[in-house]
Amino acid sequence: MGLLKLHIGCASKRLDGYINIDSRQTNATDHVCDAAAITFVSAGSVSEIYSRHMLEHLDPNDAMTTLKHWHDLLAPSGILNVVVPDITFHAQQILGLVQSSMGDQTLHAMAGFWGWRDETRGGSKEDAHRWGYTETSLVRLLTELGFTDVQRVLEGVDSEPWHLNLMARRQSSPHVN
């Protein structure tokens, strides 16, 4: 069997070619489990993890545990693509310094900080944000956890400045000191 691709925090968005995972059962889920306990997949057996607007729903310690788990699941050189709100953008947005194309600017900024709380995304409890990331803080966290080649996606899907969209890799071989 070849390497697997995981879509974690899929909500109701199903991606073909990926195992679609969420902590809630939805019409898109292949597996329902916590993002930090994906036990049906062996360590080192995943070529790509894609997670869009999920990490900010975790307390910071849980986010660290989750990212460590994902690092373990990835094969050498495996890709992590993680998208979260860009808190620097939303801070500037609420001050009127930048604008998005998302209608009401105050509402979009508030949603960036605290979550849309939309029923389709899990409602008020499930959709609350528990932490926020700047490019600097998330690049530093991923680097500290052993990811390499951490880069912001500046073109294509979710490259708008309110999406902090980062690509990273697991190291190609064990780190030798």
Ligand X SMILES: C[S@@+](CC[C@H](N)C(=O)[O-])C[C@H]1O[C@@H](n2cnc3c(N)ncnc32)[C@H](O)[C@@H]1O
* Smallest separation (angstroms) from ligand X to the CB of 173: 30
Q: Which is nearer to ligand X, 59 or 148 (CB)?
A: 59
Q: How far is CA 129 from CA 19, 66, 122, in A?
A: 24, 16, 12
Yes or no: say if 84 and 56 are a contact pair by the CB < 8 Å rule. Answer: yes
- Please tell me whether residue 36 adopts helix, strand or coil conformation: coil
Closer to ligand X at the Cβ: 91 or 128? 128
**Least CB distance to ligand X at residue 121 (A):** 4
CB of 176 to ligand X, least distance (A): 33
Residues in touch with ligand X (CB under 6 A): 9-11, 13, 22-24, 34-35, 52-54, 57-58, 121-122, 126-127
CA 152 to chain centre: 13
**What's the CA gap between 164 and 170, in Å, rounded?**
19
Nearest approach in angstroms of CB 62 to ligand X is 7
Q: How far apart are CA 43 and CA 146, in angstroms?
A: 15
User: Is 37 or 77 the residue whose CB approaches ligand X more closely?
Assistant: 37
Helix 105-114 with 87-94: angle, nearest 10 deg: 140
In the bound state with ligand X, the residue whose beta carbon lies nearer, of 34 and 149, is: 34
- Which one, 22 or 86, has the nearer CB to ligand X? 22
| Element spanning 25, H or E | none
- Nearest approach in angstroms of CB 174 to ligand X is 28
